[in-house]
Structure 1
Amino acid sequence: MRINKYIAEAGVASRRNADQLIKDGKVSVNGKKITECGVDINVENDVVHVDGVKITPIRRYTYIMFNKPKGCITTAQDEFGRKTVFDYLEQFAGKGLFPVGRLDYDSEGLLLLTNDGALAQVLTHPSYEVPKTYLVKIEGTISDDDLKKIRAGVKFDGVRYAPAKVFIKEQKENFTRLEITVTEGKNREVRKIFEAVGKNVVFLCRKKIGELALGGLSRGTARYLSDKEIAYLKAFQNAVTDKKRR
């Protein structure tokens, strides 16, 4: 493995920054300082130090499912002192995890965290059209015409939103519950889709990413994905990336 990749996989720096660390003479292999970025190392036997500190790459990717509660943000820290998802995940500290996409402060539900950057790219980039399913509660009722608009694709604040699958689960005089599946992953996408037809979302919970479902996981708790769930995500990743290569 190239030394810069080894440093990046240890979470010390990006590959570009790893190259700079090497050029600056801050990296040693088996006690010998190196200054060439193209050096290959034996990951099983060689000992690497950066700034005098021994490093070890993350050998196995980690995949976590978290049921995000309302009232926390999807970042590692917040300048305003608000709770973050990582305040709930202390048992998973030190694994280099980052959120796959985001759920806004007032939204809840399924959030994946991993250290697998390639998979995260597939699950979040709009071009891969990964379906994400939400339960939504809006104020008042919604007409068939508005549902047809959402299914055909809407425009809000100059931004076009792709057609979404949507149906009513329950409708009363003062509120409506719906299920909606979107594929773009744009910022606050679901809320803006409903705003485009004049509806205010008062509850938003993500239930599924592809066929990966939140199930009965309690709010504010997390678990490792099962081998079956990981296999599903990797198969999906391989399928969509192969399709894009053609």
Structure 2
Amino acid sequence: MRVNKFLSTSGVASRRKSEELISQGRVKINGEVVANLGTMVDIDNDIVEVDGKKIEIKEIQKVYILLNKPAGYITTAKEQFGRKSVMDLVSDIKERVYPVGRLDYETSGLLLLTNDGDLTYALTHPKHEFEKIYIASVRGKLLEKGINDFKNGLEIENYTTSKAKLKVLKYDSDKNYSVCKVGIHEGHNRQIRKMFDKIGNPVMNLKRVQLGKIRLDDLEIGKYRHLEVSEIEYLKKFCR
């Protein structure tokens, strides 16, 4: 078994985080620092250590969680500023789970968490056309040119966004704001906020409501639920 998969299967970290641990020289096999991400582990005979602690592979209960993330929570376990983490909202789950991708600090809505490293790796891989649907409240009224530019791709910083979906659901002339439904397949840092900034309609509020066919629906904010079997099977198709 590849060493990164060994670590994720053992519950040490997600597969991507395991690759970071290896790159940092924190992983040893039989006393030797692992230098290659493709290094194989003999699960019956090799001794694997992370930061000097022996790691043993074990069958763990796979957990698949859908959380309605509130704004004002980070999607990492902890950070230097001591802000609240989504992990605080699932602290009663005995298995150690990890977010699948990220939602930025101010953004709320649908966030998946799991201890299935293979699934996390597959769902966050750029090759998959995995649509993400958001509801955005933005300042002002959207102009036709801005809508077309948003849909066809915008030059942001050092990249051009792929084609996106954008539908204006509402415009409030008294308060001068619009509510929009947005669909993207990418996941650049704060991408939707930057796209609306580019067309002159800054985001006031942003909520993710759907990932592929997985929907947030009426799940209460700050609460979570376990995915249904059909939802898990749907997501696992992306691992093949």
Establish whether TM, by shorter chain, passes 0.5: yes
- 1:58-207 equivalences in 2 (<5 Å): 58-93=59-94, 95-173=95-173, 174-207=176-209
Structure 1 unaligned spans of 5+: 25-36, 43-47, 239-246
Q: Which has the higher contact order (CA 8 A, sep 6+)?
A: 2
- Choose 1 or 2 for highest CA Rg: 1
Q: Does 1:217 align with 2:219?
A: yes
Map of 1:29 onto structure 2: none
C-alpha deviation, 1:80, in angstroms = 0.8
Q: CA RMSD in A?
A: 2.8
SS at match of 2:123: helix
Q: Once the 2 structures are TM-superposed, how far is the Cα of residue 60 of structure 1 from its aligned partner?
A: 3.6
| Structure 2 residue identity aligned to 1:110 | L
Residue 181 of structure 1 and its aligned partner are, at CA, apart by: 0.2
Question: How has the CA–CA distance of structure 1 residues 158 and 3 changed in structure 2, closer, same or farther, with 3 Å as cutoff?
Answer: closer
SS of residue paired to 1:208 = strand
Q: Are the equivalent residues in 1 in contact too, given 2:9–2:117 (CA < 8 A)?
A: no
Structure 2: distance between partners of 1:166 and 1:52: 49
Superposed CA deviations along residues 205-231 of structure 1, whole A, max 9, x for unmatched, are: 000000100011110011111101101
- TM-score normalised to structure 2 length: 0.81
Higher mean alpha-carbon deviation, 212-221 vs 122-131, is at 122-131
Aligned residue in 2 for 1:41: 44
Query: Which secondary structure state, in structure 1, belongs to the residue aligned with residue 141 of structure 2?
Result: coil
Using the aligned pairs only, state the percent identity.
Answer: 35
Does the C-alpha gap of structure 1 residues 7 and 86 become closer, same or farther in structure 2, counting only changes over 3 Å?
A: closer
Name the aligned partner's letter for residue 143 of structure 1: L
Determine if contact 2:128/2:238 at 8 Å carries over to the other structure.
no
Task: Please give the alpha-carbon distance, in whole angstroms, between the structure 2 residues aligned to 1:210 and 1:58.
Answer: 29
Q: Give the helix-richer structure, 1 or 2.
A: 1
Amino acid of the structure 2 residue aligned with 1:41: D
Shift of 1:52: 8.6
| CA spacing shift, 1:141–1:157, aligned 2, 3 Å | same
The whole-number CA distance in structure 1 between the counterparts of 2:60 and 2:203 is 42
Say if 1:107 and 1:204, in contact at 8 Å, map to a contact too.
yes
SS of residue matched to 1:141: coil
Q: Which amino acid aligns with 2:152?
A: A
Question: Compared with structure 1, are the counterparts of its residues 87 and 136 closer, same or farther at alpha carbon in structure 2 (3 Å cutoff)?
Answer: same
